[in-house]
Amino acid sequence: MSGSRFSFLLSVFMVFGSPAWAEDYLVSTPKTSLLISAEKGKKCYFQYYGPRVEKAADIFVSGNALWGNSYPTFGLSEGTEHALAVTFADGSLSVDLCVESVKQYATSDGSVTQVNLVDSVCPIAVSQYFKSYNGTDVMATWTEISNTGRKPFVVTEMASAALPLRRADNWISHLSGAWAAEHLLQEERLTNGQKIVSNLDGVRNTATANPSVMITLDGQPREEAGCVVGASLAWSGNYRLKSVATQGNLTLFAGINPTASAYQLQPKETFCTPELVFTYSTEGKGGVSRAFHRWARRYALHNGEAPRDVLLNSWEGVYFGVNQEIMDRMMKDFAAIGGELFVMDDGWFGEKYPRHNDMTSLGDWEVCKEKLPQGIEGLLASAKQHHVKFGIWIEPEMANTRSELFEKHPEWVLSQQGRQLTTGRGGTQVVLDLTNPKVQDFVFGVVDRLMTSYPDIAYIKWDANACVMNYASPHLPAQKQSHLNIAYHQGLRSVLERIRQKYPHVVMQACASGGGRVNYGLLPYFDEFWTSDNTDAYQRIFMQWGVSSFFPAAAMASHVSAGRNHQTERSVPLKFRFDVAMSGRLGMEMQPKDLNESELDFARRAIAAYKEVRPVVQQGDLYRLISPYDKQGFASLMYATTDKSRAVLFVYKMEHLYNMNYPTVRLSGVDENKVYRLRDLTPRDAARPSGFDGKEVSGRVLKYVGLSLASVFWGEYASLALELTEVR
Which are the catalytic amino acids? 463, 533
Task: List the one residue from 119, 397, 463, 680 that touches ligand GLA (CB under 6 A).
Answer: 463
Three-class secondary structure assignment of 427-494: HCEEEECCCCHHHHHHHHHHHHHHHHHCCCEEEEEECCCCCCCCCCCCCCCHHHHHHHHHHHHHHHHH
What minimum distance in Å lies between the beta carbon of 311 and ligand GLA? 13
3-state secondary structure (DSSP) of residue 633? coil
Give the residue with the Cβ less far from ligand GLA, 165 or 580: 580
The kind and range of the H/E element at 407 are: helix 404-408
Give the residue with the Cβ less far from ligand GLA, 319 or 454: 319
Q: What is the DSSP string of 554-579?
A: GGEEEEEE-SB-TTT--B--HHHHHH
Stretch that binds ligand GLA, among 108-116, 507-515, 670-678, 685-693 (CB under 6 A): 507-515
- Phi and psi at residue 369, in whole multiples of 5°? -65, -25
Task: List the one residue from 346, 621, 671, 723 that touches ligand GLA (CB under 6 A).
Answer: 346
Give the residue with the Cβ less far from ligand GLA, 312 or 697: 312
What minimum distance in Å lies between the beta carbon of 27 and ligand GLA? 40
Q: Which residues, in sequence order, are bridge partners of residue 144?
A: 127, 272
Task: List the one residue from 315, 365, 406, 520 that touches ligand GLA (CB under 6 A).
Answer: 315
Side chain identity, residue 371: K
Residues 384-423 that bind ligand GLA (CB under 6 A): 393
Give the whole-angstrom CA distance, residue 1 versus residue 36: 10
Task: List the one residue from 170, 199, 435, 465 that touches ligand GLA (CB under 6 A).
Answer: 465
What string marks each residue from 526 to 545 as x (binds ligand GLA by CB under 6 A) or -? ----x--x------------
Query: CB count, 10 Å around CB of 6?
Result: 23
Give the residue with the Cβ less far from ligand GLA, 256 or 466: 466
Is 360 a residue that touches ligand GLA (CB under 6 A)? no
What minimum distance in Å lies between the beta carbon of 45 and ligand GLA? 46
What minimum distance in Å lies between the beta carbon of 59 and ligand GLA? 47
Using a 10 angstrom Cβ sphere, with 0-12 exposed, 13-18 middle and 19 or more buried, the burial of residue 332 is middle
Residues 578-607 that bind ligand GLA (CB under 6 A): none
What minimum distance in Å lies between the beta carbon of 358 and ligand GLA? 6
What minimum distance in Å lies between the beta carbon of 326 and ligand GLA? 16
Give the whole-angstrom CA distance, residue 678 versus residue 107: 44
Q: Which residue is nearest to ligand GLA (CB)?
A: 346
Task: List the one residue from 447, 511, 556, 638 that touches ligand GLA (CB under 6 A).
Answer: 511
Give the residue with the Cβ less far from ligand GLA, 429 or 636: 429
Give the residue with the Cβ less far from ligand GLA, 319 or 471: 319
Give the whole-angstrom CA distance, residue 516 versus residue 531: 8
3-state secondary structure (DSSP) of residue 3? helix
Cβ contact 313:343 at 8 Å: yes
3-state secondary structure (DSSP) of residue 699? helix
Three-class secondary structure assignment of 34-86: EEEEECCCCCEEEEEEEECCCCHHHHHHCCCCCCEECCCECECCCCCCCCEEE
Cα–Cα distances (Å) from 156 to 86, 117, 159, in that order, read: 5, 19, 10
Stretch that binds ligand GLA, among 200-208, 230-238, 247-255, 508-516 (CB under 6 A): 508-516
Give the residue with the Cβ less far from ligand GLA, 340 or 395: 395
Task: List the one residue from 137, 201, 345, 527 that touches ligand GLA (CB under 6 A).
Answer: 345
Side chain identity, residue 370: E
What minimum distance in Å lies between the beta carbon of 558 and ligand GLA? 13
Stretch that binds ligand GLA, among 125-133, 212-220, 506-514, 613-621 (CB under 6 A): 506-514
Give the whole-angstrom CA distance, residue 154 versus residue 485: 15
Stretch that binds ligand GLA, among 401-409, 511-519, 542-550, 633-641 (CB under 6 A): 511-519
Q: Are strands 556-561 and 528-530 parallel, antiparallel or unpaired?
A: parallel
What minimum distance in Å lies between the beta carbon of 424 and ligand GLA? 12
Residues 228-257 that bind ligand GLA (CB under 6 A): none
Beta strands in 193-238 (DSSP E): 193-199, 209-216, 228-233
Give the residue with the Cβ less far from ligand GLA, 310 or 511: 511
Total interface residues for ligand GLA by CB under 6 A: 12
Side chain identity, residue 661: N
Site residues (vs ligand GLA, CB under 6 A)? 315, 345-346, 358, 393, 463, 465, 511, 513-514, 530, 533
